[in-house]
Amino acid sequence: MIETRQLTKRYGGFTAVDAITFKVEPGQVLGFLGPNGAGKSTTMKMLAGFLSPTSGGATVAGFDIETQPLEAKRALGYLPEGAPSYGEMSVREFLDFIADVRALKGDLRDKRIDDAVERLHLERVLEQPIDTLSKGFKRRVGLAGAILHDPKVLILDEPTDGLDPNQKQEVRTLINSMARDKTIIISTHLLEEVHAVCSRAIIIAAGRILADASPAELEARSRYHQAVSLTAVNVAQAKEALSKVADIAAIEVDPQDGRITAFPKPGRSIFVAVGDALKTQGVAVRELALEPGRLDEVFRTITQGAAGQEART
């Protein structure tokens, strides 16, 4: 479990993290979203015990990060941004070092190292110096180090940054497989990742929490939520037909590909009505889809709205 209370970090006059309060339970994967410089990494660094908060506090697995830092660090697996590791060491030496620091001994130690190597597919590169590995492998070595002691709490700062799509998929599968009994926080720029692994998302900008909800709830805030989009053979005819549906608030046509999007009035569902209208008017439709909502649009609205407020005050 991770809990923060009014967690704040100031550098001189600049507030990087501004009184953030949240709680993550075991079994939850929390996605930290936000533009660059929003305070995601600073928050994670404080939770990991690298930076000390200016005010407020936090507990990791029940241990206060300021008064019980060693206990908190023992319960935590942390992947810093960029997955740094000691380049001159081989993968095996690096994992041995982490196991030593984590005081893993005997059979358990062997088992944990084997498990981490297997989960991240490092068998082939075990004896290679980390410096000679590709970016994807370096990232996986960092991840292996973070999960080596089977921590209750995992904090991963951009775990899939710089990986190719296959590697991204593997890391997401890994996170999902560990999600059941752990408390996990990941930060990411990729909204598709929130869908793929997170059960909850916090959007932060300028050091403040702007939204805290499940990915589906965030999508529901989108203008596109419950909208219907379609491509028709005859765009004008389709628009004409749609204009007769009572619950439609607005119709937009994409000037590039002619895709028509119909937005419902608040709280209304228009999919069935649109289908009926098209059929009765005899409009030929190539494709018809119900939009779940667009996370990127929600993200933009929320974070840019905040930036706008910031500029005014």
Partner 1 sequence: MSGIATIFKRELRSYFATPVAYVFIVIFLLLSGAFTFYLGNFYERGQADLQPFFNFHPWLYLFLVPAVSMRLWAEERKSGTIELLLTLPVTMWQAVLGKFLAAWAFIAIALALTFPIWITVNYLGSPDNGVIFASYLGSLLMAGAFLAIGSCISASTRNQVVAFILTVVICFLLLLAGFPLVLDFFRAVAPQGIVDAVAGLSFLTHFGSIGKGVIDLRDLIYFLLMIGAWLYATAVVIDLKKAA
> Where along the sequence are the contacts to partner 1 (CB under 8 A)?
11, 45, 48-51, 70, 73-74, 76, 78, 80-82, 84-89, 93, 97-98, 100-103, 129, 142, 145
Determine whether 66 is exposed, middle or buried from the number of CB atoms within 10 Å of its CB (0-12, 13-18, 19+): middle
CB closer to partner 1 out of 9 and 182 = 9
Contact 171, 160 (CB under 8 A): yes
CA atoms within 13 A on the CB side of 305: 12
Closest distance of CB 145 from partner 1, Å: 8
Distance of CA 312 to the CA centre of its chain: 29
Closest distance of CB 163 from partner 1, Å: 18
CB closer to partner 1 out of 31 and 49 = 49
Contact 139, 163 (CB under 8 A): yes
Closest distance of CB 4 from partner 1, Å: 17
Contact 221, 297 (CB under 8 A): no
CB closer to partner 1 out of 86 and 111 = 86
Closest distance of CB 101 from partner 1, Å: 5
CB closer to partner 1 out of 160 and 229 = 160
CB closer to partner 1 out of 49 and 215 = 49
Closest distance of CB 199 from partner 1, Å: 25
- Strands of 228-232's sheet in order across: 248-253, 260-264, 228-232, 285-290
Name the H helices within the chain: 40-47, 69-75, 91-101, 106-119, 135-147, 165-178, 191-197, 215-220, 235-242, 271-281, 295-312
